[in-house]
Protein backbone atom coordinates (compact mmCIF):
# COMPACT_ATOMS: atom_id res chain seq x y z
CA UNK A 1 0.00 0.00 0.00
CA UNK A 2 1.35 3.43 -0.83
CA UNK A 3 0.89 6.39 1.46
CA UNK A 4 -0.25 9.10 -0.91
CA UNK A 5 -0.96 11.95 1.40
CA UNK A 6 1.04 14.86 2.78
CA UNK A 7 1.84 15.15 6.47
CA UNK A 8 0.30 18.59 6.58
CA UNK A 9 -3.09 17.21 5.61
CA UNK A 10 -3.10 15.45 8.96
CA UNK A 11 -3.67 18.77 10.66
CA UNK A 12 -6.57 19.74 8.46
CA UNK A 13 -9.34 19.09 10.93
CA UNK A 14 -12.19 20.05 8.58
CA UNK A 15 -11.28 17.19 6.31
CA UNK A 16 -12.30 13.66 7.08
CA UNK A 17 -9.40 11.44 8.06
CA UNK A 18 -6.72 11.33 10.72
CA UNK A 19 -5.82 14.51 12.57
CA UNK A 20 -2.31 15.03 13.96
CA UNK A 21 -1.13 11.98 15.83
CA UNK A 22 -0.30 13.35 19.26
CA UNK A 23 -1.02 10.50 21.66
CA UNK A 24 -0.59 10.63 25.43
CA UNK A 25 1.30 7.64 26.81
CA UNK A 26 0.49 5.97 30.12
CA UNK A 27 3.00 3.39 31.34
CA UNK A 28 1.31 0.37 32.94
CA UNK A 29 2.82 -2.28 35.21
CA UNK A 30 4.94 -5.18 33.87
CA UNK A 31 6.34 -3.33 30.83
CA UNK A 32 2.99 -2.55 29.20
CA UNK A 33 1.78 0.88 28.09
CA UNK A 34 -1.16 2.53 26.34
CA UNK A 35 -1.25 5.57 24.09
CA UNK A 36 -4.52 7.50 23.72
CA UNK A 37 -5.42 10.14 21.14
CA UNK A 38 -9.01 11.29 21.60
CA UNK A 39 -10.95 12.32 18.47
CA UNK A 40 -8.13 11.27 16.17
CA UNK A 41 -10.32 10.66 13.12
CA UNK A 42 -12.21 13.66 11.74
CA UNK A 43 -15.49 12.65 10.13
CA UNK A 44 -15.70 9.57 12.37
CA UNK A 45 -19.51 9.39 12.28
CA UNK A 46 -19.57 9.32 8.49
CA UNK A 47 -16.82 6.67 8.54
CA UNK A 48 -18.97 4.59 10.88
CA UNK A 49 -21.91 4.82 8.45
CA UNK A 50 -19.78 3.82 5.45
CA UNK A 51 -18.19 0.85 7.24
CA UNK A 52 -21.51 -0.38 8.60
CA UNK A 53 -22.74 -0.41 5.00
CA UNK A 54 -19.85 -1.76 2.92
CA UNK A 55 -18.01 -4.22 5.17
CA UNK A 56 -19.08 -7.88 4.68
CA UNK A 57 -19.87 -8.44 8.36
CA UNK A 58 -19.89 -12.06 9.54
CA UNK A 59 -21.36 -13.65 12.60
CA UNK A 60 -19.01 -16.22 14.12
CA UNK A 61 -19.86 -19.09 16.37
CA UNK A 62 -17.73 -20.91 18.88
CA UNK A 63 -17.90 -24.29 20.58
CA UNK A 64 -18.64 -23.77 24.28
CA UNK A 65 -18.58 -27.13 26.07
CA UNK A 66 -21.29 -29.09 24.27
CA UNK A 67 -23.05 -26.08 22.73
CA UNK A 68 -22.25 -23.89 19.72
CA UNK A 69 -22.86 -20.25 20.65
CA UNK A 70 -22.79 -17.13 18.53
CA UNK A 71 -19.93 -14.73 19.26
CA UNK A 72 -21.78 -11.58 20.39
CA UNK A 73 -20.42 -9.12 17.81
CA UNK A 74 -19.96 -9.09 14.03
CA UNK A 75 -16.50 -9.42 12.51
CA UNK A 76 -14.47 -8.83 9.36
CA UNK A 77 -10.76 -9.37 8.75
CA UNK A 78 -8.48 -7.76 6.15
CA UNK A 79 -5.23 -9.68 5.68
CA UNK A 80 -1.89 -8.27 4.56
CA UNK A 81 -2.61 -7.85 0.89
CA UNK A 82 -6.30 -7.13 1.02
CA UNK A 83 -7.50 -3.61 0.24
CA UNK A 84 -9.07 -1.89 3.22
CA UNK A 85 -12.78 -1.05 2.90
CA UNK A 86 -12.40 2.75 3.17
CA UNK A 87 -9.68 5.23 2.11
CA UNK A 88 -9.72 6.80 5.59
CA UNK A 89 -8.48 3.46 6.96
CA UNK A 90 -5.54 3.60 4.51
CA UNK A 91 -4.72 7.09 5.76
CA UNK A 92 -4.99 5.94 9.37
CA UNK A 93 -2.68 2.98 8.74
CA UNK A 94 -0.14 5.20 6.96
CA UNK A 95 -0.18 7.72 9.80
CA UNK A 96 0.18 4.94 12.39
CA UNK A 97 3.15 3.51 10.49
CA UNK A 98 4.80 6.93 10.16
CA UNK A 99 4.45 7.48 13.90
CA UNK A 100 5.06 4.00 15.35
CA UNK A 101 7.31 2.14 12.92
CA UNK A 102 10.55 3.58 14.38
CA UNK A 103 9.56 2.16 17.78
CA UNK A 104 7.75 -0.98 16.60
CA UNK A 105 10.39 -1.90 14.02
CA UNK A 106 7.80 -2.98 11.45
CA UNK A 107 4.57 -1.71 9.91
CA UNK A 108 1.03 -2.62 10.87
CA UNK A 109 -0.16 -5.25 8.39
CA UNK A 110 -3.68 -6.46 9.10
CA UNK A 111 -6.97 -4.89 10.11
CA UNK A 112 -9.61 -6.66 12.16
CA UNK A 113 -13.01 -4.97 12.34
CA UNK A 114 -15.66 -5.57 15.01
CA UNK A 115 -19.21 -4.27 15.04
CA UNK A 116 -20.93 -4.08 18.44
CA UNK A 117 -24.56 -3.66 17.46
CA UNK A 118 -25.79 -2.65 20.93
CA UNK A 119 -24.97 -3.10 24.61
CA UNK A 120 -25.54 -6.84 24.40
CA UNK A 121 -22.55 -7.26 22.08
CA UNK A 122 -19.23 -7.64 23.88
CA UNK A 123 -15.87 -9.37 23.99
CA UNK A 124 -14.68 -11.28 27.06
CA UNK A 125 -11.35 -10.77 28.85
CA UNK A 126 -8.43 -11.79 26.63
CA UNK A 127 -5.01 -10.75 25.29
CA UNK A 128 -4.31 -10.76 21.53
CA UNK A 129 -2.05 -13.74 22.13
CA UNK A 130 -2.52 -15.90 19.05
CA UNK A 131 0.96 -15.75 17.53
CA UNK A 132 3.73 -13.43 18.57
CA UNK A 133 1.76 -11.39 21.09
CA UNK A 134 2.07 -14.38 23.43
CA UNK A 135 5.86 -14.18 23.62
CA UNK A 136 7.02 -10.79 22.32
CA UNK A 137 6.37 -7.12 22.92
CA UNK A 138 4.18 -5.72 20.17
CA UNK A 139 1.54 -3.08 19.44
CA UNK A 140 -2.16 -3.25 18.64
CA UNK A 141 -3.70 0.07 17.50
CA UNK A 142 -7.49 0.39 17.80
CA UNK A 143 -9.57 3.11 16.14
CA UNK A 144 -13.15 3.39 17.45
CA UNK A 145 -16.07 4.93 15.55
CA UNK A 146 -19.73 5.16 16.47
CA UNK A 147 -21.03 5.21 20.04
CA UNK A 148 -18.40 4.95 22.79
CA UNK A 149 -18.01 1.63 24.61
CA UNK A 150 -15.85 0.93 27.64
CA UNK A 151 -12.58 -0.85 26.96
CA UNK A 152 -11.38 -2.40 30.22
CA UNK A 153 -7.77 -3.34 30.96
CA UNK A 154 -6.48 -5.34 33.93
CA UNK A 155 -3.16 -6.98 34.78
CA UNK A 156 -3.22 -10.71 34.09
CA UNK A 157 -1.98 -11.49 37.58
CA UNK A 158 -4.71 -9.40 39.21
CA UNK A 159 -4.97 -5.71 40.08
CA UNK A 160 -7.24 -2.75 39.51
CA UNK A 161 -9.19 -2.47 36.25
CA UNK A 162 -8.68 0.58 34.02
CA UNK A 163 -11.57 1.83 31.91
CA UNK A 164 -11.55 4.00 28.78
CA UNK A 165 -14.71 4.92 26.90
CA UNK A 166 -13.77 4.81 23.21
CA UNK A 167 -15.81 5.93 20.19
CA UNK A 168 -16.21 8.85 17.73
CA UNK A 169 -12.72 8.54 16.23
CA UNK A 170 -10.68 7.84 19.38
CA UNK A 171 -7.39 5.95 19.09
CA UNK A 172 -5.86 3.62 21.68
CA UNK A 173 -2.58 1.79 21.14
CA UNK A 174 -1.70 -1.08 23.46
CA UNK A 175 2.06 -1.56 23.49
CA UNK A 176 5.02 -3.21 25.17
CA UNK A 177 4.01 -6.40 26.97
CA UNK A 178 0.31 -5.43 27.07
CA UNK A 179 -0.98 -8.49 25.18
CA UNK A 180 0.76 -10.99 27.44
CA UNK A 181 0.84 -9.30 30.84
CA UNK A 182 -2.57 -7.56 30.66
CA UNK A 183 -6.02 -8.53 29.43
CA UNK A 184 -8.68 -6.35 27.83
CA UNK A 185 -12.45 -6.65 27.35
CA UNK A 186 -15.51 -4.78 26.09
CA UNK A 187 -18.18 -5.62 28.70
CA UNK A 188 -21.89 -5.82 28.01
CA UNK A 189 -23.93 -2.80 29.01
CA UNK A 190 -27.49 -2.72 30.27
CA UNK A 191 -27.91 0.83 28.94
CA UNK A 192 -29.44 1.67 25.58
CA UNK A 193 -26.23 2.10 23.58
CA UNK A 194 -25.91 2.66 19.85
CA UNK A 195 -23.52 0.70 17.66
CA UNK A 196 -19.72 0.97 17.68
CA UNK A 197 -17.15 -0.27 15.19
CA UNK A 198 -13.54 -0.88 16.22
CA UNK A 199 -10.69 -1.25 13.74
CA UNK A 200 -7.63 -3.06 15.12
CA UNK A 201 -4.36 -2.67 13.23
CA UNK A 202 -1.80 -5.37 14.05
CA UNK A 203 1.69 -6.27 12.80
CA UNK A 204 2.43 -9.53 10.99
CA UNK A 205 1.99 -12.62 13.14
CA UNK A 206 -0.07 -10.93 15.86
CA UNK A 207 -3.75 -11.78 16.25
O1 LIG B 1 -13.39 -3.51 20.14
C2 LIG B 1 -12.37 -3.29 20.76
O3 LIG B 1 -11.99 -2.14 21.02
C4 LIG B 1 -11.50 -4.43 21.22
C5 LIG B 1 -11.47 -5.58 20.26
C6 LIG B 1 -10.50 -6.63 20.68
O7 LIG B 1 -9.95 -6.61 21.73
C8 LIG B 1 -10.16 -7.71 19.75
O9 LIG B 1 -10.88 -7.92 18.76
O10 LIG B 1 -9.14 -8.40 19.99
FE1 LIG C 1 -8.22 -7.85 21.72
Is residue 207, in this structure, part of any structural domain at all? no
Is residue 158, in this structure, part of any structural domain at all? yes
Instruction: Answer for the pair 116, 150: CB distance below 8 angstroms, yes or no.
Output: no
Range of the domain at 112: 23-202
Is residue 134, in this structure, part of any structural domain at all? yes
Which of the two residues, 66 and 20, has the higher pLDDT score? 20
How does residue 1 score in pLDDT terms, banded at 50, 70 and 90? low
- Residue 9, pLDDT > 60, answer no
Is residue 58, in this structure, part of any structural domain at all? yes
Candidates 76, 184, 207: which one to mutate for ligand 1, based on the most atoms within 8 Å of Cβ?
184
Query: Does the CB atom of residue 171 touch ligand 1 within 6 A?
Result: no
Report pLDDT digits (tens) over 51-85.
999 999 999 888 878 888 888 999 999 999 899 99
Is residue 84, in this structure, part of any structural domain at all? yes
Q: Please give the ipTM for the structure prediction.
A: 0.99
Is residue 190, in this structure, part of any structural domain at all? yes
Residue 105 to residue 204: CA distance in whole angstroms: 11
Q: How many domains does the chain have?
A: 1
Report pLDDT digits (tens) over 136-154.
999 999 999 999 999 999 9
pTM of the predicted model as reported, rounded to 2 decimal places: 0.93
Query: Does the CB atom of residue 179 touch ligand 1 within 6 A?
Result: no
User: What does the pLDDT average to over 90-115?
Assistant: 98
Query: Does the CB atom of residue 142 touch ligand 1 within 6 A?
Result: yes
Report pLDDT for 14: 57
Residue 203 to residue 146: CA distance in whole angstroms: 25
Is residue 57, in this structure, part of any structural domain at all? yes
CATH code assigned at 78 = 2.60.120.590
Burial of 88 (0-12, 13-18, 19+ CB in 10 A): buried
Residue 98 to residue 12: CA distance in whole angstroms: 17
Is residue 8, in this structure, part of any structural domain at all? no
Amino acid sequence: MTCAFQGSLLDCSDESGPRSLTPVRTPLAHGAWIDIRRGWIAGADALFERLAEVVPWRAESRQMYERVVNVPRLLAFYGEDEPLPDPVLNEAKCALDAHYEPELGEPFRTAGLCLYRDGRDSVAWHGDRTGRGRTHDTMVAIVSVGEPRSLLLRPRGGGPTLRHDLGHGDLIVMGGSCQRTWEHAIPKSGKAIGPRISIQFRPRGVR
